[in-house]
Amino acid sequence: MKIALAQINYHIGNFESNTSKIIAAIENARSAGADLVVFAELAVSGYPPRDFLEFNDFIERCLHSVDKIAEHCRGIAAIVGSPTRRAEIKGKDLHNSALFLSDGKIQAMAHKSLLPNYDVFDEYRYFEPYREFEVIHYKGKKIALTICEDIWDIGEDPLYTINPMDELMKQLPDMMINIAASPFHYEQARSRKEVILSNVRKYKLPLFYVNHVGAQTELLFDGGSLVASPEGFVVDELNYFEEDFRIYELEDVEEAVMPEGGNPLGLINDKIALIHDALLMGIRNYFGKLGFTKAILGLSGGIDSAVTMVLAARALGPEHVRAVLLPSAFSSEHSVNDALQLAQNLGSPYDLISIEEAFDSLDHTLQPIFGDLPFDITEENMQARIRAVILMAMSNKLGHILLNTSNKSEAAVGYSTLYGDMSGGISVLGDVYKTDVFELARYINKDGEVIPENTIIKPPSAELRPDQKDSDSLPEYEILDKILYQYIERRKGPKELVSMGFEKNIVDRILKLVNTSEFKRFQTPPVLRVSTKAFGMGRRLPIVGKYLS
């Protein structure tokens, strides 16, 4: 049996595009002699559709698309993910389903049993879990068909009370097929492969796995669809961060032998390279799927805006990314020169607009109220907000989308200005710690200097007061980021952090800053997710909570 894997970049609710891509892949698979072509979880609707699933019209369009796709399944079968309606009155109205299409109609269905309800997942909000398991018969083979999470509960500490594959094994299947929507983070490819290999080693069956690729606002899908041997290694994997299509002979997978000295997990990419490629895809898809073409950002001469600028230029084309240099009385000459040099290196358009006159005017306007009160964070924030006003005015007038350049370290501790440098349509680096921003800059420059070296080596500074450095207000980033990672990603408490060797007064101070800054993060643009715990939909904390604040 020849099985095709179709790794496609879907667009949530874009039924015409999704359906046409699926049909084109079916036609491609048929002409190449495939017997079966497999698509991802909720391929018809795109993932995650969220509360669109509460609209009857949305479900009707999904089912209509399935009917159109089924018409093309003649002489070939397809497995396609879609929401389906339940007939039962009790429980949720929908299943998350894998539909087996052949001879022009739906021949069988498998419904998702394990519905994740943690981190970025919220499937139990919409779907009813399924508790009946049947293999699918096709061309003399029995297929154990599962959906994403259904194969993940295989460790020693199970999250669920039932294991779909254990149930399906009672019917002696010949292969496993899993359709998935597995979002990217820089550790996910390894974790995903380890789960898949645990399944093939346990059940001694080949596994064909199809994942989404592409960005859905903050959620990034890396692809990496693959085929695994019953001997416990990755036979082949599709490309990362791009659409792909390949056909496999079942018998070849069953008899595959791992090359001597090979890695059972296959390709394992470098963390920074993965983040770089994921962010490029995230920017490109955010603009493309919303119909935008041009970006704008404030280019300060600092490393965050520099990295953001390069990523945007690589994603959209340098001619489509406009840099605006907005120096104040406190901006250093070398920062302005570094920003100019970067824009020129990229070949991007740029503008130089001083904010001194606007700041002096606003300062004069407020003088009767502020009187002799000393210069403080108020005047620092005024500068950041003046810059945001200029950038948003240009965005409105010229049709550019403003890129937010704040990093995760700043967002975590509130070292940013609400309605100032926190403005933007999408946050490019909001899930990248400052120390990793430096690594990204080095990665960008690996084949030659793009970002000026001075931007990378100079001490980070907001340049909102004389001789300001980030270290005046925060611990060194090498310490800060380690504490933030252990608290945010690893959920370590203050006692655990102190036991790890961090100073108690620094731990208490940093954790208080994180928790008291939640109101700021609640108002930020969507953050492209590249870590195991990003700010946004996957991290839900109360604004008025007292814990550690």
**DSSP labels for 32-67?**
TT-SEEE--TTTTT-S--GGGGG-HHHHHHHHHHHH
Q: What are phi and psi of 98, to 5 degrees?
A: -110, 120
Q: Point out the catalytic residue in the list 21, 41, 149, 410.
A: 41
Nearest to 146 by CA among 127, 161, 125, 168: 168
CA distance linking residue 110 with residue 133, whole number of Å: 8
- Whether residue 381 contacts residue 494, with contact meaning beta carbons closer than 8 Å, is answered with no
- Whether residue 205 contacts residue 188, with contact meaning beta carbons closer than 8 Å, is answered with no
CA 300 to chain centre: 26
Q: Say which residues have a Cβ less than 8 Å from residue 546's Cβ, sequence separation at least 6.
A: none
- Whether residue 414 contacts residue 513, with contact meaning beta carbons closer than 8 Å, is answered with yes
Q: Point out the catalytic residue in the list 62, 123, 148, 434.
A: 148
- Whether residue 277 contacts residue 528, with contact meaning beta carbons closer than 8 Å, is answered with no
CA-to-CA dists, residue 492 to 157, 481, 482, 530, angstroms? 20, 13, 11, 20
Active site residue 148: yes
Q: Point out the catalytic residue in the list 21, 62, 73, 112.
A: 112
Active site residue 41: yes
Segments of 190-272 assigned E as strands = 207-210, 213-216, 219-222, 226-229, 233-237, 244-249
**H or E element: which one contains 250?**
helix 250-254
Q: Say which residues have a Cβ less than 8 Å from residue 172's Cβ, sequence separation at least 6.
A: 142
Residues classed as catalytic = 41, 112, 148
